[in-house]
Structure 1
Amino acid sequence: MQNTIWRISVITAVVALAACSTQREAPVETVTPSEHKPHVQFSNKTVESSSKVMSDYAQYQPTLDALRAVGNDQAAINFLNQQTSDNAMAERVRNQWLKNLGARGQWSTFNAEYAKLDKGGIDQENQCYAQLSGAERNTQLVSNLILEHGKLPAGCNTLLQQSASGLNQNQVWSRIRGLLSNNQITDARNLAAAIGQPLPSALGSLNGSGMAAQESLLYSVTNANARKDNNIGNRIAAISGNLSREQAGFAYGAAGETHAKSQNFGVALQLFNQADRAQLDEEQWEWYVRSALRFSRWQEVNNIIAAMPAKLQNKEDWQYWRARALQAMGQSAQAQQLFQKASQSGRNFYALMALEALGGKVSTNSNAKPASEAEKARAAQDGAIARALTLYHASVANDNRTVRNIAQQQWRYAVRNLNESSLLAAAAVAQKAGFNEMAIYAADRTNHLLDFNIRYMSPYKDITTRYARQVGIDPAWAYGLIRQESRFMIGARSHVGASGLMQLMPATAREVERKIGASSTGLDDIEHNIKLGTWYLADVRNSSGSETMATAGYNAGPGRARQWRANVPLEGAIYAETIPFNETRDYVKKVMANATYYASLFGEPRQSLTQRIGTVPAK
């Protein structure tokens, strides 16, 4: 995405689709037609008329608005009573109604409506209200929530407040500290009051007595502005005599995260090393590792990952990096075991990096036979899929991006519980209709039956290849970027105006047009968009000397990408892992892995992700 920190990404729903793929070559399963066809299963939901679907759409947003603005239960009842079957619009309306009911404590109605939701469609706040209503008994939910340091929905805060007296009090205080450090002052005050120790009215000094007074003083070094101070370690030490070990340890961890995200990795490591590890949240643990990784301090990388909670240790990211650390430390056998685990984690950046570390290579050999015409016909007659397609066709006919967004929501709803054969049949239907982003979404959800021709579709190949080669960039890289940007969605538009397959901002497009002497034919023109986008991508690459840094620059701006370099040449994978913006870090990994897959599909020579990501030059 060209500078999506300056702008919001392509229709929010499309961004959620992003998932790049990696397939270990050896375990590809062979699936015969006889094994494939009998497992295609779709629902018996009735196919509704287009007039019924569009009538529902016309009432959908006004119903949500009425629920949010005035809590109009009757609006929800009327809308839901008009539905002939469950669908994405009804699910969202019911979720919003449930939030209203939960906030008012109307538990009998809440429980009756909650029972009608598909388990895969319940949002987090309603999961919390279901605990309060007695509809659910999931003690692990509260145990997980209390470990969160950031903002939670109102219903989840209510659940924690009502449960607080029975929870581990150290964890309760840790959440209060986290809320204060994240400027969630009201939620922090409410939680402290729930355990009978209200915070002082004025925070930042040693007001009052007991734990609450100490937490007030702690805030003087954990608030957002204080944490940015390069002298924050000394400031924490100066007041530590008035704090408990746990309080001071929390402050060091919070400050460590702030400095790591500001690329002050040396300061961050010093702070993290003094932190109370029991209070580090998941993001802080990850920035702790990244800080050591930035200096290739492999012993520290290994030790930090080994101390992480098991949930984090088992992520392919940290399996890979711990394997790298063990390898650097001469412990090859243990490293190989972790590379093996990471390589089998699915189709993602680190699975492919681990596979290559084991001597393997990307595979794009599909093992699923393309869906037959009969299977595609069955998919198209599934009522939930048909509803999504009706909305999609209406969005195209009227050039209406809001309807397209609802069509995407309905598609995700329709394929949520499909088995893999059915997913591939649905993907084929979407591809045939031109609903490219959702064809990829469905194909991406399979783990065993793989159709790389849909998962990594390559429309407009002649145009893209021609312009990519004219400006001297790898067509596979251009495709990897387009897949991440727009999922080949013609007319894609961000909320701030970036347009087309390669998501160019109008100002950037005009600048490129001026430089290459091209007349504008509009950014929705496929050929013009690709011509400008590939030129701009090549220009960013030429000025940076690195595909990896250029990819980061396309998303967050070339200036930021340059700032994230080290003072010495840096392994591209380490550069990518230590990018401070979550969106850009994820974006770079996905684009580069996508490019590796496209290279394999196109028979291009650069089929190694490790080599492609390369080295980022020093500042």
Structure 2
Amino acid sequence: MKKLTSIIRYSLLACLFSTVHPVAAQVSGQSAVNAPQQSANVSEQRELFKKAEYAARRGRIAEYNQLLKQLENYPLTPYLEMERLQQVGYLANEDRVVSFLERYQGTPLDWQLRQPWLDYLAQQGEYQRFIRDFRHPGTLTHQCYLITAERAGGLEDGPFIRKVDAIWRHGFSVPSACDGILNEWADLDARTKDKVWQRLVLAAEEGNPTLIPYLTRLLPKREQYLGELYHKVRYSPAAIGQLSRFRGVDPAKEAQIATFALTKLIWRAEELALKSYEKLVSRLPFTAAQRHTIAEEFAVALSLKEHPEARVWHQKVPPSELDERVLQWRLAAYLRDHDYAALKMTIQTLPPAIAGGNQWQYWLARAMEETGDQLNANRIYADLAKERHYYGFLAAARVGAPVSLEKDPVKATESQITALLQRDDVKRAYEFLQLGRDVDARREWNHLLSDIDGEAFKTAAVIASDWDWHDQAIWTLAQIGHFDAVEIRFPMAYSEIINLSSEKYGIDPAWAMAITRRESSFRADAYSGAGARGLMQILPGTAKLLRNDDSFKRLNTPEVNVALGTYYLSSLRERFNGNHVLATAAYNAGYYKVRDWLPSEPTALDEWVEMIPYYETRDYVKAVLSYQQIYELLNGKEVNLFDAFATMKVDDN
């Protein structure tokens, strides 16, 4: 399939949108191509759209209607209609609302109008209309409104009970809209003690523990101690040390509570957890699954704490129950003990699907090397060196092989690109991007991805890349596991800003680019749950420490964010005596955490990375080092940075 040049793609964009976004094409190493100048007509329409939207929200009907006449065929016009429908009496506009919902069902426009429309119908008691216009799954509130409407329409007891059962099975408080059906459900004697217990467990282990006292009161009197015990150990797992709390009324439920408590206690007080288990195991009827759960958690926690019994608990986890977390800490335990013979034996007994993975192949080779089997170790290293991967780069360094990029550029035909560009959701996404409304643009793009097949995903990634919408291009390819389109997945985004700032603070631009790629995928408005913002995910508090000005207020500005991020990287590297691997870990976990993790004796870097306690930081370091290597290669530097990593040792000196 012949790949389009950027010139052809931009011509298509110009024809379909009358304007294009000037970008530098990054597909398959093509040179930069500037887009044609924006059409004055489309630029004017964008301004008119903003004015019309404001007029709709303010109820300026005459002004809105006048502006709407000038926006014929503009892609975002449906959003104006949605705004207008939200501002007027609903039943008076029922036909228009229903027609709009039918036309845009399943699109981002749908739920933005359907939700307030359903709220209105429920509040007005318009049950038949509600049932007609409800679409699954809806919110929990709307699900309860639906059951209320169906019950009013004659829903029989059996189906009613089954539907309310699903509402009941939540570990959190349910909306007040559910109160009526829950009360009626209870009056039908559908709230059995088993259902109460089921919800109590959900509240204790996965939900809101403040529900436990309420649910405890719903249990039979002689079983209420179980709820009280669950509530106690939810906040204080050490309470299981008092065996008198286990009254023997329901040993199976007591074992369930003990399992939960033990898996929490092992992280807080390992010696008490070990002693408590020894007392409880002969007293309570733990199931095989519960014993496995306890063994897994004990093995991981004790490995992390470098406890001498860690390996004993690892042996209690049956091969059928091994997961990535347990295996990671089993590996760490062997590395900490320098027991390469046991490591080799363990890997060779793993299921082939696991043992064949890059990580385990690398450590099998390392174990062979350490136990004198250099020939077989080199054979594995040579195979791994063909992979564009952290372990592939490490393997290449250990045998002096060249590193591999495994490039496979995404290709798209003119007809494939044209077909996507003609879609309404793509047009709306593009217009929202031009208006700087990235959240709305992403909603439209996600709708596109939900409605296309795997081959079209590649075309969509090409389009997003050409729009300089790098985070969505990367995300789009990730959805189909197409990881070899290196130029799209690792764009030279914001390169001028990153290069200038890196030069100013004396760090490798490829390192800064790799950090940015990992942190935000080049999404300038990225915002984490912890409050980190922008391209390099800087916390406002960190920004205040780094610079005594108002930079913390402008973290979504690329120049400000990159300046702070590169300066922070430089200062971390300096604090770690020039070791940028430790600085990378500290950028994610914090300086003092990494200091705590440094071994007292010199330890090989690859071993230390595997023993990083935080899985997020462990994966982060591997990814950033790999990305840095990829960017060096894309910049034409035929060097393996892992040559230094393969021989590097770290300690707390």
TM-score computed with the length of structure 2 as normaliser: 0.60
Deviation at 1:380, TM superposition (A): 2.0
Per-residue displacement from partner, 1:393-434 (whole Å, max 9, x unpaired)? 44x1xxx454355245335436x6232xx5454333223323
Q: What is the aligned partner in structure 2 of residue 522 from structure 1?
A: 554
Deviation at 1:298, TM superposition (A): 1.8
Q: What is the aligned partner in structure 2 of residue 137 from structure 1?
A: none
Rounded to whole Å, the distance in 2 between the matches of 1:339 and 1:91 is 53
Distance 1:304 1:596, change over 3 A: same
Report whether the alignment pairs 1:434 with 2:468. yes
Rounded to whole Å, the distance in 1 between the matches of 2:80 and 2:365 is 56
Per-residue displacement from partner, 1:533-565 (whole Å, max 9, x unpaired)? 111101111212422221121112111122222
Distance 1:496 1:518, change over 3 A: closer
Per-residue displacement from partner, 1:121-175 (whole Å, max 9, x unpaired)? xxxxxxxx9xx99xxxxxxxxxxxxxxxxx99x9xxxxxxxxxxxxxxxxxxxx9
Q: What is the aligned partner in structure 2 of residue 286 from structure 1?
A: 328
Q: Secondary structure at the match of 2:454?
A: coil
User: Contact 2:410–2:458 (CA<8 Å) still a contact in 1?
Assistant: no
Rounded to whole Å, the distance in 2 between the matches of 1:465 and 1:618 is 31
Q: What is the aligned partner in structure 1 of residue 252 from structure 2?
A: 212
Distance 1:535 1:418, change over 3 A: same
Rounded to whole Å, the distance in 2 between the matches of 1:603 and 1:471 is 23
Report whether the alignment pairs 1:599 with 2:632. yes
C-alpha RMSD of the superposition:
5.1
Deviation at 1:315, TM superposition (A): 3.7
Report whether the alignment pairs 1:417 with 2:459. no
Report whether the alignment pairs 1:567 with 2:609. no
Q: Tell me whether 334-343 or 573-582 shows the greater mean CA deviation.
A: 334-343
Whose radius of gyration is greater, 1 or 2? 2
Matches within 5 A, 1:312-327: 312-327=354-369
Deviation at 1:99, TM superposition (A): 8.0
Q: What is the aligned partner in structure 2 of residue 552 from structure 1?
A: 585
Per-residue displacement from partner, 1:326-350 (whole Å, max 9, x unpaired)? 3433445665675577667x75433
Deviation at 1:480, TM superposition (A): 0.4
Q: Tell me whether 263-272 or 480-489 shows the greater mean CA deviation.
A: 263-272
Q: Secondary structure at the match of 2:278?
A: helix
Per-residue displacement from partner, 1:249-302 (whole Å, max 9, x unpaired)? 6534322222334x4364533433455565555533332233223443222323
Rounded to whole Å, the distance in 2 between the matches of 1:362 and 1:257 is 34
Q: What is the aligned partner in structure 1 of residue 494 from structure 2?
A: 460
User: Contact 1:348–1:593 (CA<8 Å) still a contact in 2?
Assistant: yes
Per-residue displacement from partner, 1:594-619 (whole Å, max 9, x unpaired)? 11000111133643345347635212
Distance 1:506 1:330, change over 3 A: same
Rounded to whole Å, the distance in 2 between the matches of 1:59 and 1:576 is 56
Q: Secondary structure at the match of 1:477?
A: helix
- Choose from 137, 141, 146 the match for 1:96: 137
Per-residue displacement from partner, 1:80-108 (whole Å, max 9, x unpaired)? 943447546769996633989999999xx
Distance 1:412 1:358, change over 3 A: farther
Amino acid at match of 1:461: S
Report whether the alignment pairs 1:511 with 2:551. no
Report whether the alignment pairs 1:392 with 2:433. yes
Identity %: 21
Deviation at 1:50, TM superposition (A): 2.7
Deviation at 1:461, TM superposition (A): 2.3
Matches within 5 A, 1:72-151: 81-84=101-104, 86-87=106-107, 96-97=137-138
User: Contact 1:352–1:362 (CA<8 Å) still a contact in 2?
Assistant: yes
Distance 1:322 1:180, change over 3 A: farther
Per-residue displacement from partner, 1:37-96 (whole Å, max 9, x unpaired)? xxxxxxxxx99953355369869999xxxxxxxxxxx9xx96994344754676999663
- Choose from 67, 72, 79 the match for 1:54: 79
User: Contact 2:540–2:553 (CA<8 Å) still a contact in 1?
Assistant: no
Rounded to whole Å, the distance in 1 between the matches of 2:536 and 2:105 is 37
Amino acid at match of 1:320: Y
Q: What is the aligned partner in structure 2 of residue 145 from structure 1?
A: none
Rounded to whole Å, the distance in 1 between the matches of 2:605 and 2:249 is 51
User: Contact 1:319–1:341 (CA<8 Å) still a contact in 2?
Assistant: no
Amino acid at match of 2:313: L
Distance 1:267 1:599, change over 3 A: farther
Distance 1:224 1:331, change over 3 A: same
Deviation at 1:574, TM superposition (A): 2.9
Rounded to whole Å, the distance in 2 between the matches of 1:310 and 1:91 is 46
Q: Secondary structure at the match of 1:96?
A: coil
Report whether the alignment pairs 1:539 with 2:571. yes
Per-residue displacement from partner, 1:184-206 (whole Å, max 9, x unpaired)? 7999x99xx9xxx9994546444
Rounded to whole Å, the distance in 1 between the matches of 2:348 and 2:144 is 42
User: Contact 1:465–1:475 (CA<8 Å) still a contact in 2?
Assistant: yes
Q: What is the aligned partner in structure 2 of residue 43 from structure 1?
A: none
Q: Secondary structure at the match of 1:257?
A: helix
Q: Secondary structure at the match of 1:97?
A: coil
Deviation at 1:357, TM superposition (A): 5.0
Q: Secondary structure at the match of 2:137?
A: helix
Q: Secondary structure at the match of 2:617?
A: helix
Q: Secondary structure at the match of 1:207?
A: coil
Report whether the alignment pairs 1:251 with 2:276. no
Distance 1:387 1:520, change over 3 A: closer
User: Contact 1:87–1:413 (CA<8 Å) still a contact in 2?
Assistant: no
Matches within 5 A, 1:87-486: 87=107, 96-97=137-138, 200-201=226-227, 202=229, 204=240, 205=243, 206-208=246-248, 212=252, 215=255, 218-219=258-259, 222-231=262-271, 232-242=273-283, 246=288, 250-261=293-304, 263-264=305-306, 266-275=308-317, 281-308=323-350, 311-331=353-373, 335=377, 347-354=388-395, 356=397, 359-364=400-405, 366-368=407-409, 376-394=417-435, 396=436, 400=437, 402-407=439-444, 409-410=446-447, 412-413=449-450, 417-419=453-455, 422-443=456-477, 450-486=484-520
Give the gaps of 5 or more residues in structure 2: 5-15, 18-72, 88-93, 115-134, 151-161, 175-197, 231-239
Rounded to whole Å, the distance in 2 between the matches of 1:412 and 1:351 is 31
Give the gaps of 5 or more residues in structure 1: 1-30, 35-45, 63-73, 110-128, 134-150, 155-174
Amino acid at match of 2:463: V
User: Contact 1:491–1:501 (CA<8 Å) still a contact in 2?
Assistant: yes
Amino acid at match of 1:468: S
Rounded to whole Å, the distance in 2 between the matches of 1:61 and 1:277 is 58
Distance 1:87 1:273, change over 3 A: same
Q: What is the aligned partner in structure 2 of residue 580 from structure 1?
A: 613
User: Contact 2:524–2:558 (CA<8 Å) still a contact in 1?
Assistant: yes
User: Contact 1:312–1:318 (CA<8 Å) still a contact in 2?
Assistant: yes
User: Contact 2:388–2:403 (CA<8 Å) still a contact in 1?
Assistant: no
User: Contact 1:53–1:387 (CA<8 Å) still a contact in 2?
Assistant: no
Amino acid at match of 2:569: L
